[in-house]
A and B are shown apart, each in its own frame.
Chain A
Amino acid sequence: MAFIQTEKLTYNYEGNLVPAVKEVSLSFEKGSYTAIIGHNGSGKSTLAKLLCGIFTPTGGKVFIDGMDSSDEEKQENIREKCGMVFQNPDNQIVSSVVEEDVAFAPENLGVEPKEIRKRVDDALAAVGMTEYAHHSAYKLSGGQKQRVAIAGILAMNPDCIVFDEATAMLDPAGRREISAAMNELNKRGITVITVTHHMNEAAMADRIVVMNKGEVAMDGTPREVFARVDELRSLSLAVPQVTELLYDLGLPEALHASEAADIIQKEIEKKCH
């Protein structure tokens, strides 16, 4: 069984006629890096909350490291395995000092003080916030607050972190910081799942799942998904600008500016010969 596996996963908000997530079956391998995209109301955030066990399904199942998220007795174990970073950096800080904030979860888990010290130091180093350990958490920038939130989860030694539009409220510099942190975590073997509106961020993942009306509309590598420009447009999703340009010109697809420059250079050189 994959690290996270869903079977006909369904979630219906109370009083709604149509489920937000409808019979979704997906699996996420350990150490994988997946972006979930979709327009507002496509069910992507609901899916993310189901994948880390914050919501329990109203139909179907989610297994996280083999544990059924509907099983109340397993919930504490699931919380330790899988953490979530939310959208608003201001809603996730619980202590006034950065390192105390990061220590909050392991303290609650009853971890030994010595071990907590070590975990807090490691976690802050992993997100590049070591020098801010004694700073006031409230005076940090949005990107820095999100990195502290990530460190707080890392200090639990989780296997998986789900980011629910964690960069939506950040400026471009903050977004770059968080993308870099995601990459770093993934290199350390942590399973990363990120819900995002930013296609350039999605392009950094190994896999993209496109949600529409609560169902999986596409599932593949960024290259595979972004090659389907017309379909993405019909789902009111944008593709990276250079992908759009090359698609409209009928050239091979590219996700990044430098890659696109190479393709155009080849075309121009072809013309000259």
Chain B
Amino acid sequence: MSLKLENVSVVYGEGTPFRKVALDNINIEFPKGKITGIIGHTGSGKSTLAQLLNGLNKPTSGKIYLDGEDIWVNPKEISKVRFKVGLAFQYPEYQLFEETVGKDIAFGPKNMKLSENEIALRVTEAARMCGIPDDSLDRSPFELSGGQKRRVAIAGVMAMKPKYLVLDEPAAGLDPVGKTDILNGIINYKNETDGTVLLISHSMEDVAKYSDYILVLKEGKVFAQGTVEEIFSNISALADSSLDLPQITRLFHELKKRGLIERDDVYTVKFGEKLLKEKGIGNA
């Protein structure tokens, strides 16, 4: 039971002057029941990867295995893959269209031809996980704030209970509270359904805080992969990948360079505080 890519490449515009290799020979197996953060620059292939996983885009070469089966063996059955791998696009709130929040969340489960009871159950469950209050379900999604709309859109994907949930920049453009609400919803989903989550983000800070495992893409290739600790223990490689390191990581990188502290694999303020307190710095 897993989601695995084997020698996957995607080339856009083959045979034209605009030929571009978006993904170049990717091999990865996403750890089950974990949150994998996928980071990389614009153009590193993150969104192309997301579209491959639920069959929206086809690899130019290589295979994608979902629970051991090649997803493109039978192209007519690809919709089944989409029920197993749920994808929330960037800015999914632009895709809301129903009259009420409840109907919008129910759209996916309805397409799965579930019973009325099951649909109703899934809508309440997804709404709860995303922190959408019950009395909002009868409101128009267009009356909500941006952050609330985003949660409704993501709840719509969660209501299909995909085993694999792929989110492309779920927290982009939100304020700190909106961000926390969305990311906590995702953690709830993982914990309650035992699902596997892939979290695509530009923000190294968010990825460090919320993921178990990190995949760094660079120019269509896997630049690094490992647990959060492993990735941050090789800080100089990360700095070279021209990704934006969290400010706290940059601080400890600088302190180590000055020979003031031994460790620089610091990616949360709390851990940084602990290290400095051990050195006797600041208030106990």
> A172 near B178 (CB under 8 angstroms)?
no
Distance A136 CA – B241 CA, assembled complex (angstroms): 29
A40 within 8 A of B: yes
Using an 8 Å CB-CB cutoff, how does the interface string of A240-260 with B read, 1 for contact, 0 for none?
111011101111000001101
Count of B interface residues, CB-CB < 8 Å: 38
Which one of A2-10, A155-163, A216-224, A265-273 is at the B interface?
A: A265-273
Q: Which positions 237-284 of chain B face chain A at CB distance < 8 Å?
A: 242-244, 246-248, 250-251, 254-255, 258, 260, 269, 272-273, 276-277, 279-283
Distance A242 CA – B247 CA, assembled complex (angstroms): 7
> B147 near A40 (CB under 8 angstroms)?
yes
- B84: A residues at CB distance < 8 A: none
Distance A197 CA – B172 CA, assembled complex (angstroms): 10
- B91: A residues at CB distance < 8 A: 169
Count of A interface residues, CB-CB < 8 Å: 38
> B176 near A237 (CB under 8 angstroms)?
yes
Partner of A257, one of B177, B250, B279: B250
A141 within 8 A of B: yes
CB proximity of B123 to chain A, nearest CB, Å: 24
> B248 near A87 (CB under 8 angstroms)?
no
Distance A112 CA – B244 CA, assembled complex (angstroms): 44
CB proximity of A232 to chain B, nearest CB, Å: 10
Which chain A residue has the least Cβ–Cβ distance from B246? Answer: A241
Distance A238 CA – B282 CA, assembled complex (angstroms): 21
> A271 near B173 (CB under 8 angstroms)?
no
A76 within 8 A of B: no
> B282 near A250 (CB under 8 angstroms)?
yes
Distance A267 CA – B199 CA, assembled complex (angstroms): 39
CB proximity of B226 to chain A, nearest CB, Å: 21
- A141: B residues at CB distance < 8 A: 42-43
> B146 near A40 (CB under 8 angstroms)?
yes
- B272: A residues at CB distance < 8 A: 245
B145 within 8 A of A: yes
> A248 near B273 (CB under 8 angstroms)?
yes
> B273 near A197 (CB under 8 angstroms)?
no
Partner of B177, one of A236, A242, A245: A236
Which chain B residue has the least Cβ–Cβ distance from A255? Answer: B247
CB proximity of B17 to chain A, nearest CB, Å: 13
A168 within 8 A of B: yes
B175 within 8 A of A: yes
Q: Say whether, besides A249-B277, A261-B255, A265-B258, A169 and B283 are in contact (CB < 8 Å).
A: no
For the A-B complex with A40-B147, A264-B281, A268-B260 known, give 12 more contacts whose Cβ atoms are closer than 8 Å.
A38-B175, A39-B177, A168-B172, A174-B42, A237-B175, A242-B251, A246-B282, A248-B269, A249-B276, A249-B283, A264-B260, A267-B282
